[in-house]
Amino acid sequence: MKKTNIINRHCYSSFCYLLFLLVSVFVSLCSCDEHYVSGHGGLTDKEVSYIKQRQLLYYRDEFGDRGENVTVDPSLVFENPRLRNAYIALQAWKKAILSDPFNLTADWVGSKVCDYTGVYCAPALDNKRIKTVAGIDLNHGDIAGYLPEELGLLTDLALFHINSNRFCGTVPHKFIKLKLMFELDLSNNRFAGKFPEVILKLPLLKFLDLRFNEFEGTVPKELFDKDLDAIFINHNRFRFNLPDNFGNSPVSVIVLANNKFHGCVPASLGNMTSLEEIILMNNGFRSCLPEQIGGLRNMTVFDVSFNELMGTLPEQIGGMVSLEQLNVAHNMLSGKIPASICRLPKLENFTFSYNFFTGEPPVCLGLRAFDDRRNCLPARP
């Protein structure tokens, strides 16, 4: 199957970085103090216990106002109050980091926060004469720790990328102050607990990536009413039925794979006319595919494999004229494959193995790539 851009979709980063006019170059890294937590690989039980202890102490009061008690050296000079607040936020975060094997935060010292590794500054949107912290990117740092409430002081932050680290705990309540947040990528960490509802309060958010964490419980239906362009919440422990307002979402990409969703695929899916890629694989959906999906003329990738879908494939799928990848494998679908599906002008790969299909039109055998194994098809594997 052709690789798609559903997993590493960071075109939004390019958009945000256009805002970062005067991005500072990284300064050379200096030595880092020894930390309590070890470097690469999994944390020991003792390390996990220590993180939990600090996290519980930190959230002793409901809104985390206890904080990390950062003291600002009076000899430090800042260009403006926003950079002073950024210093407090980043020093609090450094205190909450328990392991930094690549020393990415080793140069987080002094008042010149725009020179810190992974910190990007730009003119403030409301005052071009003021420099402020507009982005943070600590991807692939293998950093262990948690997010302190003081990060809410970064009120001009538009991009926050910390994927592929070992951050634990929850998303701070004070993130509600990040009203300019455009891209939030917390993927591939160890965040846990309920869906972080503070995210619903970020008015400009367009890109949300929570995949590969340990979030659990339900997903608020309000998520699908937000004006988002991309939602990645796959590989967590979410368990719920997709709500009827699912089709209200204006996203172009949504990935819900490898959770514990169940129930029906809602007919409102057919209202998502901007949708280009949807991955619902490996959940617990147990219903028919709604015929309304035939109206998704911009859809290029549709994957509902490894579920418990029943019934026939709707003839209306033949109206999904942009479809390139169609995967309905490992379900309980039956009947005949509609020839209109295999005649789709852009279809490159059609996988419908491990079902109970009884009829397959000859045109399907002429596709560039298809997989029809383990069905009830005469003269086929």
Residue 262 pLDDT: 87
305 assigned to some structural domain: yes
284 assigned to some structural domain: yes
Residue 69 pLDDT: 83
Residue 68 pLDDT: 74
143 assigned to some structural domain: yes
Tens-binned pLDDT, residue by residue, of the chain (381 aa): 443 444 444 443 433 333 333 233 222 222 223 333 444 455 667 766 665 555 544 444 344 454 678 999 999 999 999 999 999 999 999 999 999 999 999 999 999 999 999 999 999 999 999 999 999 999 999 999 999 999 999 999 999 999 999 999 999 999 999 999 999 999 999 999 999 999 999 999 999 999 999 999 999 999 999 999 999 999 999 999 999 999 999 999 999 999 999 889 999 999 999 999 999 999 999 999 999 999 999 999 999 999 999 999 999 999 999 999 999 999 999 999 999 999 999 999 999 999 999 999 999 999 999 999 999 999 888
For residues 221 and 196, what is the distance between their CA atoms, to the nearest angstrom?
Answer: 13
Q: How many domains does the chain have?
A: 1
- Token code pair at residue 206: 């367009």
132 assigned to some structural domain: yes
For residues 327 and 193, what is the distance between their CA atoms, to the nearest angstrom?
Answer: 32
Residue 51 pLDDT: 59
272 assigned to some structural domain: yes
4 assigned to some structural domain: no
Residue 102 lies in domain: 62-317
Read off the pTM: 0.84
Residue 43 pLDDT: 62
47 assigned to some structural domain: no
CATH for 100: 3.80.10.10
340 assigned to some structural domain: no
